Amino acid sequence: MIPVPVVFKGVPGSPYTRKMLAYLRYRQIPYQLLIGMQADAMGLPKPRVDLLPTFYLPNDSGELEGVVDSTPLIRRFEAECEGRAALPPDPALRFIDGLLEDFADEWMVKAMFHYRWYYDADIEMAGSVLPFWRAIGQTPEQHEHSKRLFSERQISRLYVVGSNDTTAPVIEASYERLLDILDALLQRQPFLMGARPGASDFAVYAQLTQLTHFDPTPARLAVKRAPRVYAWTDIVDDLSGAPAPDNGWLSANDVRDALGELLAEVGRGYVPALLANAQALIAGEKQFATTIDGRPWEQPTFPYQGKCLRWINEKYQALEPEDRQRVDAVLSSTGCEDVIVAA
């Protein structure tokens, strides 16, 4: 079982830290967040891949280990902690929830990283603030040094997520459409999954904590274009007191109408990128080029997103035939159906 309080390391500027924080608050699971260098000072085990957040959880032998990756972490908490579930009980809706969670984690993060390290005002903001989250007591000289090194490193990694002069219009247009889609959706229901949040809500919220509340350029867009979405991000930050009614999930008959536009956005941008990346990985190529939303897209291949495509299809194949039919009906003509055909 998971020991409480749950101990983990993270920083405010990490969307995946914010995803897990909001999830734990909603689930009312006690936690202890270690910010900056606290975990290192405590001698806690390091994960195989040093990512944030890092959770310190017992393995099968009962030994403490560093565990990363928010998506499987949420599934572990769902399996081991009772009450206020964040995964829908309906298998078809759970699949859709997982697909939207993946979209937020793997596509929306492109907008987050792009805006943060592409525009001068955003670079200045991030470069000035982020180093202090690791070490608040830096001298002005130390801070100037860390600001320069950190900014240079992050800017040099823009290509990893696919942010460049060619892809910038695609990323920014997708973000602006997403604001409009979420604004319309939130007029009908308080969460993506209905009257209670799913994992996808926490994933979308997580990227928005940076896009709407930290980085100046996308934040201005959000306030001007979709202030409702800005406010929703504040609300989801702490849902510890929110009700979790058993009948709060979207009904099978409502899923298409409620989420059709959002799924079409997934199919418009993320799915073509996933498929092109997978084809390049199979061919052993280090770079791929494709067309997204009628515009050119190019970036290095990304093995983790190859795994994402495989996991999506494994979850789909694990569904009962009648549940697969319901998923097919929801995804039809959104572009998301292609992610299944490619399995």
Question: What's the rounded mean pLDDT across residues 111-132?
Answer: 98
pLDDT at position 141 over 90: yes
Q: What is the pLDDT of residue 91?
A: 98
Q: What is the pLDDT of residue 334?
A: 98
Question: What's the rounded mean pLDDT across residues 147-160?
Answer: 96
Q: Work out the pLDDT band at 343, boundaries 50, 70, 90.
A: very low
The domain ranges of the chain are 6-80, 91-117+160-341
Q: What is the pLDDT of residue 17?
A: 98
* Tens digit of each residue's pLDDT (9 = 90 or more) over 52-79: 999 999 999 999 999 999 999 999 999 9
Query: 6-80, which class in CATH?
Result: alpha beta
Question: What's the rounded mean pLDDT across residues 140-160?
Answer: 96
pLDDT at position 192 over 70: yes
Q: Which residue has the tokens 């602006």?
A: 176
* Cα-Cα-Cα-Cα dihedral sign, residues 147, 151, 154, 157: negative
User: pTM for this structure?
Assistant: 0.97
pLDDT at position 3 over 60: yes
pLDDT at position 38 over 90: no
pLDDT at position 277 over 80: yes
Residue 241 phi/psi, 5-degree rounding, is: -100, 5
Question: What's the rounded mean pLDDT across residues 136-163?
Answer: 96
Buried/exposed 300-324: b ≥16 CB within 10 Å, e otherwise: ebbeebbebbeebeebbeebeeebb
Q: What is the pLDDT of residue 252?
A: 87
